[in-house]
Amino acid sequence: MAYHIDELHPGMSASTSKTVTEADIILFAGISTDVNPAHLDEEYSKTTMFGGRIAHGMLSAGFISATLANKLPGPGTIYLSQTLKFKAPVRPGDTVTATVTVREVNVAKNRVVLDTVCTVAGKVVIEGECQMMPPVRAPKPTGTA
């Protein structure tokens, strides 16, 4: 279900959860061309501040996009902007929960601002905000033929 601007109000929220797999990391590296060894090379990663491999931050941020597109505001919504603060690493096998919460609704401009957060086991790994343009209602027929 898609929400139109007049159906949105502050406090509305939706979430999506996904466990990050080895395949997700490898496929994301191939699609994005981000082959940083912090994501792909366990031996190298052990020498970093993380002490082991981490998933791409943008892979987890993609779960925010999925929540916006699939749940709130939903299908047909258009991304206008997104800020992200990466707070903690996501590791292979972690389950990421992306939650979006409506903060502001501007009916006149068909814009909505949502707080966005990703967590792993209750710990914030990404936080930010986005501005979206919800889908527009199809015009009602004005007459009969």
Instruction: Check which CATH number belongs to the domain holding 61 and give it.
Output: 3.10.129.10
Residue 32 covered by a domain: no
By DSSP bridging, strand 111-120 and strand 95-106 are antiparallel
Total domains in the chain come to: 1
Residue 115 covered by a domain: yes
Residue 124 covered by a domain: yes
Residue 145 covered by a domain: no
Distance CA 54, CA 60 (A): 11
Task: Look up residue 85 and give its two tokens.
Answer: 């603060």
Sign of CA dihedral 99, 111, 76, 137: positive
What are the tens digits of pLDDT across the range 96-120? 999 999 999 999 999 999 999 999 9
DSSP for 9-75, please give it.
-TT-EEEEEEEPPHHHHHHHHHHH----HHHH-HHHHHTSTTSS----HHHHHHHHHHHHHHTSS-T
What are the tens digits of pLDDT across the range 61-86? 999 999 999 999 999 999 999 999 99
Asked whether 42 and 20 are in contact (CB, 8 A), the reply is no
Question: 79 is in which domain, residue-wise?
Answer: 5-20+56-133
Residue 27 covered by a domain: no
Distance CA 90, CA 6 (A): 36
Residue with tokens 């999506």: 16
pLDDT band at 142 (very low <50, low <70, confident <90, very high): confident
Residue 46 covered by a domain: no
50, 62, 135 from 53: Cα distances, Å: 7, 19, 39
pLDDT at 31: 97
**pTM, rounded to two decimals:** 0.91
Residue 11 covered by a domain: yes
Residue 114 covered by a domain: yes
